[in-house]
Structure 1
Amino acid sequence: MVKGNGTKDSPWQLQTPPGTSDYTIYKDDEKNVLVCTVGKTVLHYDPRCINDLHTMLKEHGDWMELGSADEQKPAKEGTVEAWGRWEKNPVGGWYGLKKGLRGRFGMYIPPLMEALGLAELEHNPKNNRMRAK
């Protein structure tokens, strides 16, 4: 069971897929963004990513590698990270909204989807995958 209810006062408390870092996410309804805080770093994601990624994973029908990468590094083809920045996804590019910090989609959104009951997620030291529930 996930702690928090996704608001600024009670953000979801999550861990990265390998379980090595804690972070929080909440939905800022006024700004229509997901606010992800990792230590002192604050990232923003388009909240449509949750439903869009769930739909894509259902269509994909199998496990998909997460492939998390910083914005400045290329994403491995065929991964959740690559899809989260692909020009043919439903938003036409990046789900990350903060220039310079738009990457790591494959690290921080999958645990949220698992917590919301939308996906299954592996929790290995590296090379984790996810699939739609």
Structure 2
Amino acid sequence: MTAARSILLAVLALGLLAGCDDPPQQPRGQENLREVKPPSGPEFTGDVCVVVRNRAPFTITGRVLMKTRERATFRLARNETRRLCLSGTTYGNYTVSFVLTNFVTIPLFSCYTTTEQAIEVFAYQRGDSWLYNATCR
């Protein structure tokens, strides 16, 4: 193989890799929500409690996180409700991070939400998979 051909193959490989950085975005509602950027705004440091209600037809697991990395995990059976309390600093606009996970703790759904009202979790079957939704405010 000539040096010129090796360089050409390397350039093509880099071009293909660079094209894989940003996958195409699907319209909201077509897949499970995964918020990655916290909202901007005022923060709060102190005790925070959040109520989580499972409206899915099966057991769910997840966690509530604060900006200062405090976390509370939960496992809720169908129609079960639990109150989780944490002490730390919230994200912007007085929000916490809410994450639904599978049984090996891989995130399936996430959002930033206030703790003023209960977070209700719903699951809807679409084909062979499930779509998750929560009342994040």
TM-score using structure 1 length: 0.25
Greater percentage in helix: 1
Bigger Rg, structure 1 or 2: 2
> Scaled by the length of structure 2, what TM-score is found?
0.24
The structure where strand makes up a greater share of residues is 2
